[in-house]
A and B are shown apart, each in its own frame.
Chain A
Amino acid sequence: MRHAEDIKKLIKNTKIRTNPQVNKAVLNSLLNRLDKAESVHLDAKQPNVWRIIMKSSFTKLTAAAAIIVVVGLAVTLLDKSNTAAYALEQSIKTYHSVQTIIVRVYEGRENIDNNKFSDCWIKYDDDGRLSGFRMDVAKSADGAKSVVWSRGVAKCWMPAKNTLMIAKGEKMATDLEEFATENDPKQILQRIYDSQKNEEITLKTNEPQQNGGPIVLEVIHNLDKTLTKLFIDVQTKLPTQVEKYRFTGNEYELEIKFEFSGYNQPIDESVFELGEVPSDAVIIDSASQLCGLPQGDLPDNEIAVKVMREFFEASISQDYERVKKLLGGKPGDTLEMMYGGKILRVLSIGQPEPDEKFKHLIRVQSRVEIENKGGNWITNIKLIARRLNGQPDRWIVDW
């Protein structure tokens, strides 16, 4: 006969073991969720607005433009690598003559279901180089926003945050050019041929039925089973829609959809400019002032620590103009807003480490003492040192 105490001990002390692989998978799903939640809970973390602006708007801008390039090239190359019955040469020729594109992008299952989209206007010059870009986003972590890029300068207007961000766009243009080079048709063609040879992809062409409709190209990547569908207009030989699917194990789930609503339609230059912004708008401008620290001969790790140290020193002495420059134009009291108090001293600045995902970002953990209403706190702050967009020889602090 066991005593009640024995039963209690048994229940209390019985341990559970868990599957390490599942532990890791669940944790990864939570971290992904946190990453998304981070952009949702802006109100609770108002200072992080700047970070999200920096990370989302221009990254998205570049990504969106790059996707367009991919789509265009993909069509061209698929045409070459597949003996589809439709007029191949005509399609390629038509695509190469495209100077403007208007596209509607639905990103994410939720936005697709709720009919939330972003509209893009893209213009190329006679040499095929990007000359104008605008993206109106109906729904984002920043609320509705408009991003324009023209003559090397990018601007992002976020009415919900009453904030205008301006940055020199050379970096973005460079990214696009690099991307275009990387996606040079010859190189991609070779990769497609290689992929086919290695049976890495499966191509399927669905000709239109007698009653009309588009030509549908289906590309399945054999490794991850992702599916891309391209809908080609029979008359113009240009893509009208592109859909990308993720394979869930049982079925394909639509992840992103592009609807091409116009090719070579005249786009007025004013589309690539923002209208007037309110006089009380917060302006983050890294295009018209010299921001950050010059790298000089210092290696990346050393300049990362140096810019971090100077940033903290300027914060402690409340030299907000200096802080502003070291933050790439963001308001100088941002860190105080972020931590709800004043930085009193720096206890240590840790070893710089490249970000796991974005290798060009260097994370530096520092131990600081902060004063706020609740008293003094000693805490670790992990900030990022990175090259300034458009001024790659200069380094700034970000998070």
Chain B
Amino acid sequence: MLQDKLLIWKLRRGSTSALCLIYEKYRDDLLRVAAGLLKERSEAEDVVHDVFIAFVDVSGSFTLTGSIRGYLTTCVANKARNMNRTKFRQRTVSLDEAEPTVSNLKRPDQWIICDEEFQQLCNAMAQLPYEQREAVVLHLQGAMKFKEIAEIQETSVKTALSRYRYGLDKLRSILDGEVTK
């Protein structure tokens, strides 16, 4: 936490090395969280890029109350949620029609390089209801507490915990190849 505060203190003074350090330290974790929350890899990349851009934009007046990781993860979760809502309004598809979370299409400018295991995991995640997926991803990949997840989801801690458990159970079923209803 002290190191985070020092990094923010430096960043507020325009330190490029502080920005580099924050970026290198949290980039992969944020991409992993975003990829877990969004169906399209390119969307996940966009969300993380946008979050970093916004972070830089407010860096001059930024006050850290928790950890940098927690702050950035919350930003990613909020952006991903907004993106999902927008997409939901635009188009609703059944699970069967849903595209895999991680597109196999390779682009020279792609940011996330997925191995098969990660791809399978993301595809399984994509089959969870969004709130459950969010609870699982934010807790296990974003290292967030259920209290923090509850705040993001605007619900009780108990509900966030339930969503996490249901999500985990369903994920286990999917990964084990069991038929779920």
A7 to B169, CA, bound (A): 9
Chain B residues whose CB sits within 8 angstroms of the CB of A63 once the complex forms: none
Whether, in the assembled complex, A160 has its beta carbon less than 8 Å from a beta carbon of chain B, the answer is: no
A22 and B14 in contact, given A2-B176, A37-B60, A40-B60 (Cβ under 8 angstroms): no
Chain A residues whose CB sits within 8 angstroms of the CB of B32 once the complex forms: 14-16
A45 to B59, CA, bound (A): 11
B109:A41 contact, CB within 8 angstroms = no
B61:A26 contact, CB within 8 angstroms = no
A18:B121 contact, CB within 8 angstroms = no
Whether, in the assembled complex, B57 has its beta carbon less than 8 Å from a beta carbon of chain A, the answer is: yes
Query: What is the distance, in angstroms, from A9's C-beta to the closest C-beta of chain B?
Result: 9
Task: Tell which of B14, B114, B140 touches A8, judged by Cβ atoms closer than 8 Å.
Answer: B140
B8-19 CB mask vs A (1 if < 8 Å, else 0) is 000111101001
Q: Which B residue sits closest to A340, measured CB to CB? A: B9
Task: Tell which of B6, B23, B31 touches A27, judged by Cβ atoms closer than 8 Å.
Answer: B23
B113:A37 contact, CB within 8 angstroms = no
A18 and B27 in contact, given A34-B19, A48-B13 (Cβ under 8 angstroms): yes
B59:A37 contact, CB within 8 angstroms = yes
A110 to B49, CA, bound (A): 21
B57:A37 contact, CB within 8 angstroms = yes
A26:B140 contact, CB within 8 angstroms = no
B109:A22 contact, CB within 8 angstroms = yes
Chain B residues whose CB sits within 8 angstroms of the CB of A12 once the complex forms: 140-141
Interface secondary structure of A, over-half rule: helix
A34:B175 contact, CB within 8 angstroms = no
Task: Tell which of A8, A16, A33 touches B168, judged by Cβ atoms closer than 8 Å.
Answer: A8
Whether, in the assembled complex, A31 has its beta carbon less than 8 Å from a beta carbon of chain B, the answer is: yes
A7 and B175 in contact, given A16-B32, A30-B52, A34-B59 (Cβ under 8 angstroms): yes
Chain B residues whose CB sits within 8 angstroms of the CB of A297 once the complex forms: none
Chain A residues whose CB sits within 8 angstroms of the CB of B114 once the complex forms: 16-17
Which of A14, A26, A31, A33 has most B Cβ within 10 Å? Answer: A14
Q: Which of A1-36 contact B (CB under 8 A)?
A: 1-4, 7-8, 10-12, 14-19, 22-23, 26-27, 29-31, 33-35
Which of A2, A7, A12 has most B Cβ within 10 Å? Answer: A7
A31 to B23, CA, bound (A): 10
Whether, in the assembled complex, A338 has its beta carbon less than 8 Å from a beta carbon of chain B, the answer is: yes
A26:B169 contact, CB within 8 angstroms = no
Chain B residues whose CB sits within 8 angstroms of the CB of A33 once the complex forms: 53, 56-57
A117 to B49, CA, bound (A): 31
A374 to B135, CA, bound (A): 38
Chain B residues whose CB sits within 8 angstroms of the CB of A11 once the complex forms: 121, 136-137, 140-141, 171
A30 and B53 in contact, given A2-B176, A38-B60 (Cβ under 8 angstroms): yes
A31 to B14, CA, bound (A): 10
Chain B residues whose CB sits within 8 angstroms of the CB of A34 once the complex forms: 11, 14, 16, 19, 56, 59
A187-210 CB mask vs B (1 if < 8 Å, else 0) is 000000000000000000000000
Which of B11, B115, B140 has most A Cβ within 10 Å? Answer: B140
Q: Which of A149-198 contact B (CB under 8 A)?
A: none
B168:A7 contact, CB within 8 angstroms = yes
B127-144 CB mask vs A (1 if < 8 Å, else 0) is 000000000110011000
A6 to B140, CA, bound (A): 12
Task: Tell which of B20, B53, B113, B172 touches A18, judged by Cβ atoms closer than 8 Å.
Answer: B113
Chain A residues whose CB sits within 8 angstroms of the CB of B140 once the complex forms: 8, 11-12
Whether, in the assembled complex, A113 has its beta carbon less than 8 Å from a beta carbon of chain B, the answer is: no
B110:A26 contact, CB within 8 angstroms = no
Whether, in the assembled complex, B28 has its beta carbon less than 8 Å from a beta carbon of chain A, the answer is: yes
Q: Which A residue sits closest to B56, measured CB to CB? A: A33
Query: What is the distance, in angstroms, from A253's C-beta to the closest C-beta of chain B?
Result: 18
A30 to B21, CA, bound (A): 12
Which of A1, A30, A48 has most B Cβ within 10 Å? Answer: A30
A17:B115 contact, CB within 8 angstroms = yes
A10 to B23, CA, bound (A): 25
B163-181 CB mask vs A (1 if < 8 Å, else 0) is 0000011011001100000
A7 to B136, CA, bound (A): 11
B60:A22 contact, CB within 8 angstroms = no
Pairs across A and B, CB under 8 Å, 15 listed: A2-B175, A7-B168, A8-B140, A11-B136, A11-B171, A14-B117, A15-B32, A17-B114, A19-B109, A19-B110, A19-B112, A26-B27, A38-B14, A44-B60, A48-B13
Query: Nearest 8 pairs between A and B by C-beta?
Result: A41-B60, A44-B60, A38-B14, A17-B113, A11-B140, A22-B111, A44-B61, A16-B32
Q: Which residues of A contact B (CB under 8 A)?
A: 1-4, 7-8, 10-12, 14-19, 22-23, 26-27, 29-31, 33-35, 37-38, 40-45, 48, 338, 379
- Further contacts, 19 of them, CB under 8 A, given A3-B172, A7-B171, A34-B14: A4-B172, A11-B137, A11-B171, A14-B121, A15-B28, A16-B31, A16-B32, A17-B112, A19-B109, A22-B110, A23-B27, A30-B19, A31-B16, A34-B56, A38-B14, A44-B60, A45-B12, A48-B13, A48-B14
Q: Which residues of B contact A (CB under 8 A)?
A: 6, 11-14, 16, 19-20, 23, 27-28, 31-32, 35, 49, 52-53, 56-57, 59-61, 109-115, 117-118, 121, 136-137, 140-141, 168-169, 171-172, 175-176
